[in-house]
């Protein structure tokens, strides 16, 4: 019966770039000599993730979308609980491809049930090494809190080592729990000095071989780190272009300080530092670090200048707001003045109209007394004496100022004619006109 392998490691955001290169096989130059590049196509994902998005961005975006707190994630926070699931080479040699896949899928289902399927951001099976195994990245989050310390504590790790083998056994796999409190340790490639010392006892040739392998491994590590820097530079450039549309990187003063300047200018005299510059010209690790630091400094200056511009605009807006307030107050005072004048005008106009009506009433009565029929009284009052045209062709279309004198004149003529007629009758009746 084979032993189950279930190892875990806490990872912070700063280590995710290099780790992703290993998981996604971003390079064919590996420190691990067990990797067979010709078999990399056999690798597969049980929980997939985007090849175009970095682990750092994917994990931090997921945390920001699901955390309960509004505070930013600390730089030293554990953002990934990295699990490696496997067993011995002999165990997998006795399994078909379908059963191998079922073995790893069983582990994914177990962790999904215990820690939430949504928190598992990737699960990648490597078939291009001597022993198949699966890398699985879990966000240590519960109830909106990022807390690896309380989720994956000793009791939890012991539970996984006890229960997961039983789950495998229920699926028909001939496997058992690993040795509890095992003294076995995994050596890091950089800690090779003890191995060199031991090898020297067996002969200088063996020591030389180990030293060469270690140096080769160190060079591979350097290449992988450089690849990480290239990716970080490109991701940061894209993010800056999206978030700070007005920012432009000034490479004039920096260009002279790069170790690669002469080599780059020999290739392209007018080359500028842009998104593809480090990868295009295979810029060394140290120069990429200089570029990253310079860009960060320039972004700080750009943000500071934009902040000052916003403060200036805010001050100008405050001044304009005060001016508009004063203008509004002045207009309100003008409106109040006009309203008062309108009120006085209405009052005077009302008095004037009342006086005109009283005068028209009096003049209408005078007109009636001078011969106008009293049925036209209201019309004369309303129109100031003007009545209109009668059916017999007569017109009374004069205002009182002209109508009254005319009526008086007509009345006087009628009275005079009446007096003459009376005198004539009296004279004829008495035998002749008296002289």
DSSP label of 319? H
Task: Return the H-helix or E-strand segment holding 163.
Answer: helix 154-170
DSSP label of 70? -
- Residues 133-149: pLDDT tens digits? 999 999 999 999 998 99
pLDDT at 25: 85
pLDDT at 224: 78
Task: Return the H-helix or E-strand segment holding 412.
Answer: helix 400-429
Ramachandran assignment for 276, one of left (phi > 0), alpha (psi -120 to 50 degrees), beta (any other): alpha
Provide the whole-model pTM: 0.45
Q: Which residue has the higher pLDDT, 347 or 121?
A: 121
> Which position has the token pair 């005198």?
423
Q: Is the pLDDT of residue 92 over 90?
A: yes
Q: Is 362 helix (H, G, I), strand (E, B) or coil?
A: helix
pLDDT at 435: 33
DSSP label of 72? P
Q: Is the pLDDT of residue 1 over 50?
A: yes
Q: Which residue has the higher pLDDT, 337 or 108?
A: 108
- Of 112-126, 184-198, 293-307, 354-368, the poorest mean pLDDT is in 184-198
- Residues 234-264: pLDDT tens digits? 999 999 988 888 888 887 756 667 888 888 8
- Residues 363-382: pLDDT tens digits? 888 888 877 778 888 888 88
CA-atom Rg of the chain in angstroms: 53
DSSP label of 138? E
Q: How confident is the model at residue 179 (pLDDT cuts 50, 70, 90)?
A: low
For the chain, helix, strand, coil in percent to 5 are 60, 10, 30
Q: Which residue has the higher pLDDT, 156 or 409?
A: 156
Which of 113-127, 201-215, 357-371, 382-396 reaches the highest mean pLDDT? Answer: 113-127
Quote the tokens at residue 210.
């180990």
């Amino acid at each position: 019966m084979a032993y189950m392998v279930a190892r875990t490691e806490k990872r912070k955001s700063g280590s995710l770039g290099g780790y992703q290169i290993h998981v996604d096989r971003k390079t064919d130059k590996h420190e691990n000599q067990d990797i067979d590049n010709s078999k990399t196509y056999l690798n597969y994902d049980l929980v997939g993730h985007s090849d175009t998005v970095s682990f750092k961005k994917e994990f931090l975006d997921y945390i920001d979308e699901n955390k309960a707190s509004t505070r930013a994630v600390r730089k030293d926070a554990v953002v990934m609980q990295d699990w490696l699931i496997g067993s011995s080479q002999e165990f997998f040699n006795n399994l078909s491809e379908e059963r191998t896949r079922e073995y790893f899928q069983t582990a994914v289902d177990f962790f999904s049930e215990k820690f939430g399927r949504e928190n598992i951001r990737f699960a990648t099976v490597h078939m291009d090494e001597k022993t198949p195994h699966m890398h699985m990245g879990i966000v240590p989050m519960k109830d909106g809190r990022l807390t690896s310390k309380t989720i994956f504590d000793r009791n939890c790790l012991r539970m996984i080592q006890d229960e997961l083998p039983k789950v495998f056994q229920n699926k028909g796999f001939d496997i058992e729990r690993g040795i509890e409190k095992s003294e076995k340790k995994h050596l890091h490639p950089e800690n090779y000095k003890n191995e060199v010392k031991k090898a020297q006892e067996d002969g200088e040739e063996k020591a030389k071989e180990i030293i060469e392998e270690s140096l080769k491994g160190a060079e591979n590590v350097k290449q992988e780190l450089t690849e990480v820097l290239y990716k970080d530079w490109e991701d940061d450039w894209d993010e800056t272009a999206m978030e700070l549309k007005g920012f432009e990187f000034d490479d004039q003063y920096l260009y002279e300080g790069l170790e690669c300047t002469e080599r780059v200018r020999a290739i392209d005299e007018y080359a500028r530092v842009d998104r593809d510059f480090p990868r295009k010209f295979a810029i060394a690790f140290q120069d990429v670090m200089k570029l990253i630091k310079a860009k960060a400094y320039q972004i700080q200056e750009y943000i500071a200048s934009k902040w000052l511009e916003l403060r200036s605009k805010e001050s100008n807006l405050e001044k304009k707001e005060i001016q508009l307030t004063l203008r509004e107050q002045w207009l309100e005072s003008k409106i109040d003045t006009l309203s008062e004048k309108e009120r006085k005008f209405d009052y005077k106009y009302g008095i004037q109209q009342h006086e005109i009506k009283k005068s028209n009433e009096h003049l209408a009565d005078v007109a009636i007394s001078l011969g106008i029929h009293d049925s036209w009284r209201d019309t004369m009052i309303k129109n100031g004496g003007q009545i209109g045209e009668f059916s017999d062709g007569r017109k009374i279309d004069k205002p009182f100022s002209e109508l009254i004198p005319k009526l008086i004149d007509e009345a006087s003529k009628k009275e005079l004619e009446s007096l003459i007629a009376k005198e004539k009758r009296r004279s004829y009746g008495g035998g002749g006109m008296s002289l």
